[in-house]
Structure 1
Amino acid sequence: MTALPAWLLRHTVTVEPYRGSGAYGPVYDEPAAAAALVAETVKHIRDATGTITVSTAQVYAGPDLDCPVGSRVILPDGRITRVLTVATHTAPGLPVPASTEVYCE
């Protein structure tokens, strides 16, 4: 299985993976930079709870992106957003690239 070609990933985002909640609120892992393609468009989506909500940024990255729902993402323009839902795309045995699609607030 192949990953998205590097030449498509024109942006860099910083992801702080959500690890749960602690005594003082949400707990995040260390920030990590990731190559991605960012589309800042408004879309109606269903979040992890099934509620219809609005996503204002979509991030497309390689299949190994560590970005669970609730993570913080710093977009290329410096805006900090939160992950609403994540979709992993794979097609074993087919000549299409695997990817991770992240919908952000």
Structure 2
Amino acid sequence: MVVKMPGFLLQHEVTVERHLGSSAYGPKFGAPVVVRCLLEQQTRVVVGQDGSDITSSSTFRAPLDVPAIPPESRVTLPDGDKTTVIAALRHDGGALPTPTCWEVQLR
């Protein structure tokens, strides 16, 4: 039984430009996509892909039907601030009555 994120929790919208890799001219990004989510702006320390500690300024949670958001993707917050993705973690509640969602940690 998969419990989806209830619509009433999706109170915010962020704009995501997925990181597509690098080119001779720098990083490449996909077209901007608006994602409905639950945004939490709180500073905390998270572990980066290389195992180092990184300070995260914000985290948002989005339904799993949102395609995966790779690290280094660009995100524009509702207030216009721009940041990048540290990691996107998939939360699966299994048989528990907890929402299954993405947790996206931002710089």
The two structures have a TM-score, normalised by structure 1, of 0.93
Which residue number corresponds to residue 20 of structure 2? 19
Match of 1:80 among 79, 82, 89: 82
Which residue number corresponds to residue 60 of structure 1? 61
Q: State percent identity of aligned pairs.
A: 34
Structure 1 residue 3 and structure 2 residue 43: aligned?
no
Aligned residues, how many?
105
The Cα of 1:85 is off from its aligned counterpart by 1.1
Structure 1 residue 89 and structure 2 residue 91: aligned?
yes
Query: Which deviations, in whole Å up to 9, do the C-alpha atoms of 1:9-52 show, x marking residues without a partner?
Result: 10000000111111111111111001011111100111111110
Gaps of 5+ in 2: none
Mapped contact 2:71–2:86 kept (Cα < 8 A): yes
Please give the root-mean-square deviation of Cα atoms over the aligned residues, in Å: 1.1
C-alpha distance in 2 between matches for 1:15 and 1:65: 11
Mapped contact 2:3–2:93 kept (Cα < 8 A): no
Gaps of 5+ in 1: none
The two structures have a TM-score, normalised by structure 2, of 0.92
Secondary structure at the counterpart of residue 2 of structure 1: coil
After TM superposition, where is structure 1 displaced by more than 4 Å over at least 4 residues in a row?
Answer: none
